[in-house]
Amino acid sequence: MDKKKRVFSGIQPSGSAHIGNYIGAIRNWAAGQEGKDNIFCVVDLHAITVPQDPKELEENILETAKIIIAAGIDPEKSILFVQSDRPEHAELAWILNCHTQMGELSRMTQYKEKGEGKQSVSAGLFDYPVLMAADILLYDTDEVPVGDDQKQHVELARDIAGRINSRYGKDTLVIPKPTIKKEGARIMSLSDPKKKMAKSAKGENSYIALRDDADTIRRKIKKAVTDSGSEIVYGKDKPALANLLTIYSAFADEKIQDIVERYKGKGYAEFKQDLAEVVVQGLAPIQARLDDLDNDPGYVVKVLADGAQKAAPIASATLGRVKNKIGLG
């Protein structure tokens, strides 16, 4: 029998998880669980690359784990753990740092957007993609399901692994590949379709949080910017509508073409009203599971503790192998 593909992915415990995280990433983690060897991680060490309030961070770590479980990750089928519970991540990151070029990190789009040129930015923010490479490479990962914004980081992980393999032997690290769905890989802000939907965005009308109640969702979708014109069409010249149609398609599990066909001759108002209901209904089962988890916080703590234990032998085997190869055995 073929060895199961190893899947690894992560999400930061910062701000409120939104429908972009869900459509671009978590939904695909859940859908791909069967037949694969899955590991998902709440990456708290990544979150501290920008200032965090300690109490809020602690709450957000649990909240993010709840979101992942509520969105369909089954702890019986997948390992779910918190990054800082496994010290191997930081140790491998140091080794990878010594095999990464400053120039490579300077070219990372996300760093350029968030921090380039600011003296006050932490060294951790600059180095963030190397820690992410360590997360991935530590588990001999084959596939990394992410949204489009993380593609460059996964490619860097491939480059670093390739460099290490060519120096120390090709069986040192497994070369991972990003798995990015064609549709929904970049959900855009509801208030500016040129920017991606982000937890850190100013103005909470720009995103729909997975915890938003029905009225909040209706209000945000009603306020969402639209393009000039009045017909429901999909195209590059209509980025706001294309984004709303993508969200509709993801939650209704219906092809964009079919949705466009159905709304021929109908206006934005009707489309937006229906879209709001589709999102409300799509999030309802996730929110119901979140309510259950809120009432049973001990369960999530246990899942995370078990997850860190299950991750341990995999992480320590890879770290040991790498250290041996490079003469730190």
Interacting residue ranges for ligand TYM, rule: CB under 6 A:
8-12, 20-21, 23-25, 43, 46, 132, 135-136, 144, 146-147, 149-150, 153, 185-187, 196-197
Nearest distance in Å: CB 257, ligand TYM: 21
Nearest distance in Å: CB 270, ligand TYM: 26
C-beta atoms surrounding 55 within 10 Å: 8
Q: Note if 114 is an active site residue.
A: yes
Q: How far apart are CA 100 and CA 59, in angstroms?
A: 33
- Which is the catalytic residue, given 196, 220, 238, 272? 196
Nearest distance in Å: CB 57, ligand TYM: 14
By beta-carbon proximity to ligand TYM, the closer residue of 157 and 263 is: 157
Q: Note if 170 is an active site residue.
A: no
Nearest distance in Å: CB 48, ligand TYM: 12
By beta-carbon proximity to ligand TYM, the closer residue of 179 and 231 is: 179
Angle at 328 between CA 323 and CA 329, to 5 degrees: 75
3-state secondary structure of 178: strand
Angle at 251 between CA 254 and CA 15, to 5 degrees: 150
Nearest distance in Å: CB 137, ligand TYM: 10
By beta-carbon proximity to ligand TYM, the closer residue of 149 and 274 is: 149
- Which is the catalytic residue, given 5, 36, 151, 199? 199
- Which is the catalytic residue, given 114, 181, 310, 323? 114
Q: Note if 196 is an active site residue.
A: yes
Which tokens belong to 201? Answer: 């965005």
Tell me the DSSP string of 118-134. Answer: -TTS-HHHHHHHHHHHH
Give residue for tokens 């491939």. Answer: 158
Beta-bridged to residue 143, according to DSSP, are 7, 177
Q: How far apart are CA 16 and CA 14, in angstroms?
A: 7
Phi-psi label, residue 124: left if phi above 0, alpha if psi -120 to 50, beta otherwise: alpha
By beta-carbon proximity to ligand TYM, the closer residue of 133 and 300 is: 133
Helix (H) or strand (E) holding 37: strand 37-42
By beta-carbon proximity to ligand TYM, the closer residue of 8 and 268 is: 8
Q: How far apart are CA 72 and CA 54, in angstroms?
A: 28
Active site residues: 114, 196, 199
